[in-house]
Chain A
């Protein structure tokens, strides 16, 4: 009988009875051919590969990450809770050392869901990785986490959630925002004053091929991980970089994904996007599973793979090298940049406008953060959605210093009920969530 070299856990939850709408890319059929390929390969019979049932995440677990408006039940369906629960089920098995690593093959995706969620953005309602990471922090006392988002779209939701957190290294590789949704994730987006440089955005030019992806992984991502020394590495394993994906313009391959996984060695991989459901997903997912399990994947090649056509042009290679150098420069100067970004104890403000394409909502945010050299800093966000509610959300980070805890409660007390539809306080050190 076939045996894997690593103990690998899989959650497979294709949600065959759930779709955004019948012809939407995020529909029932999306993981059907992946299921066929994985079943036909006998993956679940391999000794060392274990299939887990997803958990159902609770409102309490979501409230460690999100402010759902008006509440969790309204903006999520059971599918979202199971999808995020797939990630937490794998995470628990990893943390309890039942497996060496694992992969949650779940849908719907989550990496466009931000800290405040008024509804669906980029097919996402709640952020699976963030809900999972906060569970790991709460239940297993882990502090330093790296999330490497290799979906072709900028992981703007995850980026938003960890924008101020110096204990989370968030790296997103994606197609340049000038050419693809959501239009963000440029090199200069490095995080807030408390976490400048622990958010790295790596926009890649259209037609980046396997060579370019692996160059960035080897020359930028791995060195940063090496220095950051995370306790856990999470991979948001979107598969829309594939050369057959209908929504994007890249030239990545199943072999490339498998090799990327081998290099990155994620403890937990979570499926994000990927809409070439016949030509890419069956092969990419199989490649990732075999790579995680430490098995030979050299024969996992798409039937229409054409090496000549999938070569990377010289000018693309050049610009990738330049981007890599720029990011490496930021990474090396991260403490220096953070120092310059603000004075300890001051309050900084930023204004943002966020569009929810899936649910057609427009949101305006006024965010205030306490610049802090001892923790991730207390945050308050004034958020007004149209259509939707006007709310105030206050977040006290999990390792908050006393001053930031006090600041958080002051913010909460100051917020006037008559001005907002709802006022929320997320007190992470106490693991509590108060609504006024």
Chain B
């Protein structure tokens, strides 16, 4: 049997799955001031009367990292960056102990300016005096050549046993995001370590010997050891859990929209042929912008408990006279505003403000709560809108669904209009056309008819939709990615993330590159705790270029990215 546990903002969900399907599911309130207790009480409830020796896999998804970013509770750490030409690195400063040092590597990984050892030694002393415990080191173009990061790390070793290096986080180029990512790993490391070591020890005491896996933002898992080097990857794993929980119900060869409608927000993701779409570079959203591999999700403040108010807005009307002159008139109208705030639960459940849930209760779409309380709120609003109560409730419900559908359409449009860099992709590039909408979250089932009608796309609520997130966590495969660079002119193949360097001859071909990458990927997956029977590799990027100098070919460049495709482990796919 396997366990999935997802710590959410308000609830923590946990499921126990066997070969026969869902054996048990529980929900406990999340105590944000003590996530450790929340997790333990989840396990206690779930395992009550179960033989813990039968548990073969445990996957945990927490909001620990996400919360510390949102609440700006990151530990002070030291950051050293070496940049060379370009945008002033000072603009990417993180905290007081941020040092832009000399040293420069160019876009092909050649050293253009060496590191100044004295400078690093002085900074090292200074940080030690200031009581800094953890340091991150980031070099521009370090995925092309990590030598400077490694050199700086060696100097720091004397004072700092744990140093986080930029080239280890991703093969993607983006210096500011590399700084953010390393900063995040460095800043959440001690909290992450303390938390998971405590969870691990306690579970061991309870007789749970299966290794703990932790859910990442890309909808895959990693083992405890890997997570200690990349704790930031646990950020935004909540939305990933839900998406993974719906993959089961996504048919092969179809594009599927996943809408996770919660109380406060709606998260939208896309599944193509049973695999979730990933962000091209890493998490792209505002304060989370980084090189962390993640599912492509959009989140907006609209959900079942969104606050509904009436606002006045102006619309401009242009009248064109017969003689061609234009009169622009401004007209004041009353309109509904739904979200992005949430004041609390719906009026019907004793909350302080009118919500879409109240409208659904009034319309009989949903049961429960005190309909009288909903009516009071709707009455007030209906007077302001000069509509009947029925019309008001209809309007609220319809506008909520329309807003959600529009958000989903916008996301699809945005992905389809993403720039591409080859003629082939420009002309033949894949365009997403959703053929099914899957709804998740507490109120999901009540929305499906209306969303199907508005979107014109078949829509269904995922079974067990309120614990689909925990199911997703339990079933998520262990994932990872490797980037291999081959430069036959320089005679090297490198994968800096994997500490891999090999010499290559000029006869090195595409197939050699793919085989090398595949071997690296397999090794990395096993190290992260993957079971090779669930291993499904795919090439996500392949580029090859001729290097020409003085009008003559000198060699080739191959750039290859390979990943374990995010997906579900085998053997537990029945009974949902």
Contact = CB atoms under 8 A, between A and B. Distances in A.
Contact of B108 (A35, A39, A42, A278): A278
A54 interface: yes
Contact of A300 (B86, B173, B177): B86
Contact of A246 (B423, B545, B550): B550
Interface stretch (A45-53, A143-151, A182-190, A409-417): A45-53
Interface string B161-177: 00000000000111111
A14 B104 contact: no
B113 A303 contact: yes
Given A16-B422, A45-B289, A23 B86 contact: no
Interface stretch (B378-386, B413-421, B494-502): B413-421
B107 A33 contact: yes
Given A299-B87, A303-B85, A23 B176 contact: no
Contact of B175 (A18, A40, A301, A303): A40
A97 interface: no
Contacts of A39: 172-174
Given A296-B88, A303-B106, A53 B545 contact: no
Interface string A286-306: 100010000110111111100
B104 A303 contact: yes
B176 A2 contact: yes
Contacts of A296: 87-88
Contact of B421 (A12, A33, A303): A12
Interface stretch (A24-32, A66-74, A133-141, A200-208): A24-32
A299 B85 contact: yes
Nearest to A51: B419
Contacts of B547: 29
Interface string A377-396: 00000000000000000000
B546 interface: yes
B419 A302 contact: no
Interface in B241-276: none
B108 A302 contact: no
Interface string A270-298: 00000000100011001000100001101
A23 B174 contact: no
B176 A45 contact: yes
Interface string B476-516: 00000000000000000000000000000000000000000
Contacts of A299: 85-88
Contact of A78 (B177, B286, B423): B423
A41 interface: yes
A51 B289 CA distance: 17
A41 B108 contact: no
A3 to B, nearest CB: 10
Given A41-B86, A303-B112, A53 B419 contact: yes
A17 B422 contact: yes
A282 B417 CA distance: 25
Contacts of B141: 36, 40
Given A12-B419, A28-B545, A300-B86, A22 B173 contact: no
B107 A40 contact: yes
A18 B423 CA distance: 7
A317 interface: no
Contacts of B86: 37, 40-41, 286, 299-300
B216 interface: no
A301 B419 contact: no
Of A17, A28, A40, A51, most B-chain CB atoms within 10 Å: A40
Contacts of B546: 22-23, 27-29
B289 A1 contact: yes
Contacts of B113: 303
A422 B35 CA distance: 80
A2 B177 contact: no
A15 interface: yes
A37 B107 contact: yes
A27 B551 CA distance: 11
Interface in B405-428: 417-424, 426-427
B548 interface: yes
Contacts of A77: 423
Given A53-B417, A303-B112, A79 B87 contact: no
A13 interface: yes
Interface residues of A, number: 50
B553 interface: yes
Contacts of A35: 421
A183 to B, nearest CB: 21
B543 interface: yes
Contacts of B8: none
Of A39, A54, A304, most B-chain CB atoms within 10 Å: A39
A82 interface: yes
A290 B91 CA distance: 14
Contact of B85 (A18, A42, A54, A301): A301
B565 interface: no
Contact of B87 (A23, A32, A290): A290
A54 B426 contact: yes
Contacts of B551: 23, 25
B552 interface: yes
Of A37, A56, A296, most B-chain CB atoms within 10 Å: A37
Contacts of A15: 421-423
B84 interface: yes
A45 B43 CA distance: 41
Interface string B383-395: 0000000000000
A152 B417 CA distance: 34
A114 interface: no
Contacts of B423: 15, 17-18, 77-79, 82
A124 interface: no
Contacts of A376: none
Interface string B101-140: 0001011100011000000000000000000000000001
Nearest to B281: A39
A300 B175 contact: no
Given A78-B426, A301-B85, A42 B175 contact: yes
Contacts of A33: 107-108
A243 B144 CA distance: 25
A126 interface: no
A87 interface: no
Given A33-B108, A299-B87, A303-B106, A40 B174 contact: yes
Interface string B534-550: 00000000010111101
Contact of A23 (B420, B426, B552): B552
A224 interface: no
Contacts of A90: none
A11 interface: yes
Interface string A84-122: 000000000000000000000000000000000000000
Given A33-B107, A45-B177, A14 B421 contact: yes
A1 B551 CA distance: 42
A39 B552 CA distance: 28
Contacts of A17: 422-424
B140 to A, nearest CB: 6
A29 B556 CA distance: 10
23 contacts: A2-B91, A12-B421, A14-B421, A15-B423, A17-B422, A18-B422, A23-B553, A27-B548, A29-B546, A29-B548, A36-B144, A37-B86, A39-B173, A39-B174, A40-B174, A54-B419, A78-B423, A286-B86, A290-B87, A299-B85, A300-B86, A303-B85, A304-B112
Given A27-B546, A53-B418, 16 more contacts: A13-B426, A17-B423, A23-B553, A29-B548, A39-B174, A40-B141, A42-B87, A42-B174, A42-B176, A52-B419, A53-B417, A82-B423, A290-B87, A296-B87, A299-B85, A301-B85
Interface of B: 84-88, 91-92, 104, 106-108, 112-113, 140-141, 144, 172-177, 286, 289, 417-424, 426-427, 543, 545-548, 550-553, 557
Q: Which 8 A-B pairs have CB atoms at the shortest separation, nearest pair first?
A: A42-B176, A303-B112, A40-B173, A36-B107, A39-B173, A17-B422, A29-B545, A53-B419
